[in-house]
Structure 1
């Protein structure tokens, strides 16, 4: 089968399409014929060697890429129940030390970390859900805000931020979105996601938030990252969760500051898929590329300005 890997770190040009054996599922695993694999910033971090430099992965001769997978179950390992060959599924490969990832014609997933794909949704759209949706879901779980609370979402129209706004509204939170300049397409998109207020990202965010909520917000989910300026918008004793490694500000004023480290979770992914299937979550695709043009997709990702995810189609 074809797969995209890196043998040495660098720019998009180090991505190689190679022929490798089709992987076999072990106990508790299933093999998926990959129909779509999303390109995420973590893939660029693997490609450049950032995961090794940060101590998140060990040096090895070859690294696979691709965390998000959507496709069809092809084979089951011993002990797998609840899935059958031909099932449409989505899953998250959340390890950084594998020789193969989702950028491949076939991928092996843990059955417990896999979920049925959203009904009525294409594989390309479904592939955009696992990593970003679970990050937003688990970040909101960490905040643990009761219904009726106010939440500031930094980067509210990004891959994680867009899901965060919609999921927060589902949980009964009032959302202040940081997006756009107050009257542009990004601001309008944040409002469509359900934000009660939109704060322009090129202003004094803390001052703008406190102009509409003088006491500050109850929680912050920072995907941008905004850092200190978002912390200044938080009330004393509030909760702050950063989705960007190393970007969390120093806690003060009795605030609680944490990072969310996303992890595969089949049960939560199933709930996300159900919401997407009912049209409660917007799945956004910025463009598609064939597997062998993974380097072009990484180049486009680095250029920024995307509203949605790039997806590889093997």
Structure 2
């Protein structure tokens, strides 16, 4: 009788408003995923290798052949490049987020969470928050590597930190796209492939690696209104690395606002779709 009473007591929802319980449950799930990451350090290590390779390869292989602001100086291209590499790093983490959720679905872990008295969106929110922490650590290491290869900022610390905050917000927004993909496929491998297929055109049809003025005329508006381009341009301004004069497109003239609007809109839309997908799968 005592054991039964204790079991019922554990299963009962904890007091508190729905928002407070959702936040609490999300933090519990985030903590679970962070502990898992520490027990599999190769996940973090391999996540660092690719962006570091991009920094070194683009800086030293393409640095002397790219013309930025009328100059082919490797230093000019390096400063122009780094905002794009940072943005690419935080968005490519989306594929890993989707694969992780698909793996949890495949192993039946999500079904266990569904049986618990917890907020429906907490599982996905906790997962994306844990991925955000990992992305933050990756970004810190990448910034150190960038400084070692010669990248420099020309603005105060507040603006530089604001640029990194925009990068993390974009990465968090894109992680919800990864969550939706992870819930929509049946294997982690499919989630990884599905996560990368759309990321390549988003990151390369942008101002990340070359000025949009060098693109075909019909492609320039697509690149300029790309959410990824808005964040890259905002970071260049906040870092003091503009490189080239922006076009007359509104997102390029007001990149900080454009980046914020795009990121919040993506979170609102894809979080809603992902939670709805999670709920429908639970019924």
State the TM-score, normalized to the length of structure 2.
Answer: 0.26
Q: Which of the two has greater strand per residue?
A: 1
State the TM-score, normalized to the length of structure 1.
Answer: 0.24
By relative contact order (CA 8 Å, sep 6+), the higher-ranking structure is 2
Q: Which of the two has greater helix per residue?
A: 2
Larger-gyration structure (1/2): 2
